Structure 1
Amino acid sequence: MKRVILIILDSLGVGEMHDSLSYGDKDCNTFANVIKNSKNIIIDNFKKLGIGNIKSLNLEPCENPMASIGVCNELSQGKDTITGHLEISGVVTKVPLKTFPNGFTKEIIDEFESKIGRKILGNCVASGTEIIERLGEEHIKTGKPIVYTSADSVFQIAAHEEVISIEELYNMCEIAREMLVGDNLIGRVIARPFVGEVGSFKRTSNRKDYAIDPPGKTMLDYLKEDNKDVISIGKIYDIFNGFGITEKIKTVSNLDGINKTIEVMKKDFNGLLFTNLVDFDMMYGHRNDVEGYANAISEFDSKIPELLENLNEDDLLILTADHGCDPTTQGTDHTREQIPLIVYGKKMKVVDLGVRNSFSDIGKTVLDLFNIKNDLHGVSFKNDILS
């Protein structure tokens, strides 16, 4: 094995887990509910791969799928981006990251305001697009940054790029990142810059995530130590705080991420190409935009043939997710869900991968394919798919 292409369809969960209710999630199934409630979704290429063999999607089963199909449960505590990606990479999070469902404490806000030299707006749980529409005008008049969170472990700071410079916004995030440790450990501090006029604000691609360092050695570290390429496309670099990455490529949209993935696939590399397509989650899941989510799925579906065409004979393609974000449920937060496992290689056997106990089976398998000994959690399915 020389190359693995691992693509995270961010938030494209495929149904409830046994403990979803304990996370406040009922009747969640991101992929199935988007299919059910969309008027124009196209998933013809997903169907050819065998997506219909995921029973929770309630599609016609595929008798001769192109890919091996399964689903993965999550062992980690949480339903956020960091937790999902860490588990995919072999690290199970036993203690959930801190959340602030009623906003941040007075002590945190007082310290933050003192250190940045400005008062803030917000300090509440909110959707990123909703809060800039609600508070954007006051922010422009006062210069106060907008601070908000969600059901996930995030401290988000929104600011208009003409009011607070990108440099100053990033500096505020660095201050918050240094503060939010110990008992107040937050998974990510996120810069959320936007532009535009009142009534037509738009978030920009200058978003930047300040994540915690991975709490243990991940698949990426093992690959890098073995002198393999670990190429990050999209927000993978930020999620892992740069650990284990040998090259990073920024993106501005799902389509840009897909096209850049294909560009790298046309080149010679030896190792892992790791892509995150965030628009599913950021643009559509969190905004309860079913048709937008359906269009994003259809867009990806249309690019699947090109992805397959650019696979070398010994390459492996893995399509999966990191959590759910069902746009048909109440609220705008992530949903605790199983993730799809779609595995394709031109020389690989097509098998039923079943229901896996952990996302970490993915990372374990990647390292197994490269014959890299490791101490990661998970059970490899390498022997199931090798001819």
Structure 2
Amino acid sequence: MKGRGIWIVMDAVGIGGAPDASDFGDYGADTLGNIVNACAAGLANRDRQGKLQLPNLKKLGIFAAHAEANSNRYSGCRGKNSNASYASATEISRGKDTPSGHWELAGVPVSWDWKYFKDKEKSFPEDAIRQIMTACNLNGILANCHASGIEIIKELGEKHLRTLEPIFYTSVDSVVQIACHEEHFGLKKLYDLCEESAKIFHPMMVSRIIARPFIGNDKDSFYRTNNRKDYTIPPPNPTVCELLTRNGQACHAIGKISDIFAKKGISTSVSGMTDDMLFDEMLKAINLSQDGDLIFANFVEFDSLYGHRRDVSGFALALERFDKKVGRLLKFINADDFLIITADHGNDPTFKGTDHTRERVPVLMAGNYAQCGNHGKIFFSDVGATMASYLGLRGDLCGDNIFKHRKMGK
């Protein structure tokens, strides 16, 4: 075949409209739409000004996809673009977490319920913590609760430096996060701790154990580094990535893609950098890749720096900066390449709480393979099936090629 697949996940850039949003307590959540409205109202003017400006994503159909997702209910994002190839995608997996979203996009929906820790205090089972303490020779742990990562490090970071007891915390997601000082506790020791913790929590069907290293000397100077590492349960069935590598083609992972898929079907991986740096690494990977390869990228800072922190101005600015990068990308790729830009869930910075929000996501496509027009309301798994069809893959994936798929009912 001629051309390469380029698949970008704008982590947390949802477009509202999820039919089951109320089941998750997320009715009214609309990451893109509410950012547009906040910008128009002058409520997102820190380090930027005025209306949200996304000329390149607009040409690709992001506002038209938003209108489709919401059946044109929200005037702030109305738009049609007959020259674009776009759709809005609905998730069927019973979660609004990163692995569920990515796996379903790659053709493997999650058919089970993840394990969640519902108790806000003393969140983790005592027996599990005892096993981890014994295996890792720990005197104790800190936190053991639901928490914001930034806030819990400010609150307990200094005590961690004194005791070297790791900070364990969780959220409404199926996750165990472990924060330790990168220098005083040690990065390798933190990774080893997370590996041991995964042995305990993965059999409980906890989706991810996340290493959250930080540095600094006190609560006013602590900050998390880019050496985060996710220990994820492997997908239960082969994804697009595995089908690709089994077929002798390469999957080049950018950002946390390799961690999300537990390294299954990953040929090369670059991570541990800012999104700006990772975008440049993605361009390098595209340049070095062969026809039939897939470059699969996740840009997480929309979610980690702005969504969870409910930072509307920061999220808006990040979108505008990303839009400029998309302009560079469109000039960089070839007409025979197939580009998909999508998202894995929402994280509305105007919404209550600090957690992900259940939303539809945009599906923006470009290249000779993409057929212009509105492809309607589709499913997450249709995105992966479409990329697989482009790459000439055969296998047991959920979903249908978007360009052969009838519209989903509204």
Give me the TM-score of the superposition, normalised by structure 1.
0.94
Residue 50 of structure 1 is matched in structure 2 by: 61
CA distance in structure 2 between the aligned counterparts of 1:347 and 1:223, rounded to whole angstroms: 18
Match of 2:332 among 301, 304, 310: 310
Residue 320 of structure 1 is matched in structure 2 by: 342
Compute the displacement of 1:99 (Å). 1.0
1:172 partner SS? helix
Residue 9 of structure 1 is matched in structure 2 by: 10
CA distance in structure 1 between the aligned counterparts of 2:364 and 2:30, rounded to whole angstroms: 17
1:93 partner SS? coil
Moved more, 40-49 or 231-240: 40-49
CA distance in structure 2 between the aligned counterparts of 1:336 and 1:303, rounded to whole angstroms: 27
Residue 378 of structure 1 is matched in structure 2 by: 399
Residue 114 of structure 1 is matched in structure 2 by: 134
1:280 partner SS? helix
Q: Is the counterpart of residue 242 in structure 1 residue 243 in structure 2?
A: no
Match of 1:197 among 202, 207, 217: 217
Moved more, 339-348 or 139-148: 339-348
How many residues are aligned here? Answer: 382
Residue 140 of structure 1 is matched in structure 2 by: 161
2:94 partner SS? coil
In structure 2, relative to structure 1, the CA distance for the partners of 1:379 and 1:116 (3 Å cut) is same
Question: % of aligned pairs identical?
Answer: 39
Residue 296 of structure 1 is matched in structure 2 by: 318
Compute the displacement of 1:59 (Å). 4.0
Letter in 1 for 2:118: P
Compute the displacement of 1:47 (Å). 1.6
CA distance in structure 1 between the aligned counterparts of 2:144 and 2:333, rounded to whole angstroms: 47
In structure 2, relative to structure 1, the CA distance for the partners of 1:364 and 1:110 (3 Å cut) is same
Q: Is the counterpart of residue 344 in structure 1 residue 361 in structure 2?
A: no
Letter in 2 for 1:171: D
Moved more, 39-48 or 77-86: 39-48
CA distance in structure 1 between the aligned counterparts of 2:80 and 2:136, rounded to whole angstroms: 60
Compute the displacement of 1:21 (Å). 1.7
Q: Is the counterpart of residue 156 in structure 1 residue 156 in structure 2?
A: no
Give unpaired runs (5+ residues) of structure 1: none
Q: Is the counterpart of residue 89 in structure 1 residue 106 in structure 2?
A: yes
2:183 partner SS? coil
What is the Cα-based RMSD across aligned positions, in Å?
1.6
CA distance in structure 1 between the aligned counterparts of 2:61 and 2:14, rounded to whole angstroms: 16
Q: Is the counterpart of residue 179 in structure 1 residue 179 in structure 2?
A: no
In structure 2, relative to structure 1, the CA distance for the partners of 1:8 and 1:43 (3 Å cut) is same
Q: Is the contact made by 2:228 and 2:272 (CA closer than 8 Å) also made in structure 1?
A: no
Match of 1:68 among 68, 77, 85: 85
Q: Is the contact made by 2:94 and 2:113 (CA closer than 8 Å) also made in structure 1?
A: yes
Q: Is the counterpart of residue 218 in structure 1 residue 239 in structure 2?
A: yes
Match of 2:284 among 258, 263, 282: 263
Q: Deviations over 1:142-185 (max 9, x none)?
A: 11110001111111100112321111111100110011133x22
Compute the displacement of 1:63 (Å). 4.7
CA distance in structure 2 between the aligned counterparts of 1:65 and 1:267, rounded to whole angstroms: 33
Letter in 2 for 1:97: W
CA distance in structure 2 between the aligned counterparts of 1:167 and 1:50, rounded to whole angstroms: 44
Q: Is the contact made by 1:221 and 1:243 (CA closer than 8 Å) also made in structure 2?
A: yes
Q: Deviations over 1:17-65 (max 9, x none)?
A: 1222222223111111122223333212222222221214644644545
Residue 21 of structure 2 is matched in structure 1 by: 20
Letter in 1 for 2:59: K
In structure 2, relative to structure 1, the CA distance for the partners of 1:45 and 1:181 (3 Å cut) is closer
Compute the displacement of 1:66 (Å). 4.2
Residue 279 of structure 1 is matched in structure 2 by: 301
Residue 41 of structure 2 is matched in structure 1 by: none
Letter in 2 for 1:319: I
In structure 2, relative to structure 1, the CA distance for the partners of 1:124 and 1:44 (3 Å cut) is same
Q: Deviations over 1:47-106 (max 9, x none)?
A: 222222121464464454542111000011111000000000100111121111212122
Compute the displacement of 1:370 (Å). 2.2
Moved more, 370-379 or 307-316: 370-379
In structure 2, relative to structure 1, the CA distance for the partners of 1:268 and 1:110 (3 Å cut) is closer
Compute the displacement of 1:112 (Å). 2.1
CA distance in structure 2 between the aligned counterparts of 1:7 and 1:261, rounded to whole angstroms: 10
2:184 partner SS? coil
Moved more, 190-199 or 106-115: 106-115
Q: Is the contact made by 1:320 and 1:341 (CA closer than 8 Å) also made in structure 2?
A: yes
Q: Is the contact made by 2:85 and 2:372 (CA closer than 8 Å) also made in structure 1?
A: yes
Q: Is the contact made by 1:49 and 1:65 (CA closer than 8 Å) also made in structure 2?
A: no
Compute the displacement of 1:110 (Å). 2.4
Moved more, 231-240 or 286-295: 286-295
Q: Is the contact made by 2:181 and 2:214 (CA closer than 8 Å) also made in structure 1?
A: yes
2:288 partner SS? coil
CA distance in structure 2 between the aligned counterparts of 1:113 and 1:262, rounded to whole angstroms: 43
Q: Is the contact made by 2:15 and 2:360 (CA closer than 8 Å) also made in structure 1?
A: yes
Q: Is the contact made by 1:86 and 1:92 (CA closer than 8 Å) also made in structure 2?
A: yes
In structure 2, relative to structure 1, the CA distance for the partners of 1:116 and 1:203 (3 Å cut) is same
Letter in 2 for 1:298: E
Give me the TM-score of the superposition, normalised by structure 2.
0.89
Q: Is the contact made by 1:50 and 1:61 (CA closer than 8 Å) also made in structure 2?
A: no
Q: Deviations over 1:89-135 (max 9, x none)?
A: 10011112111121212222222223222200011111111110111
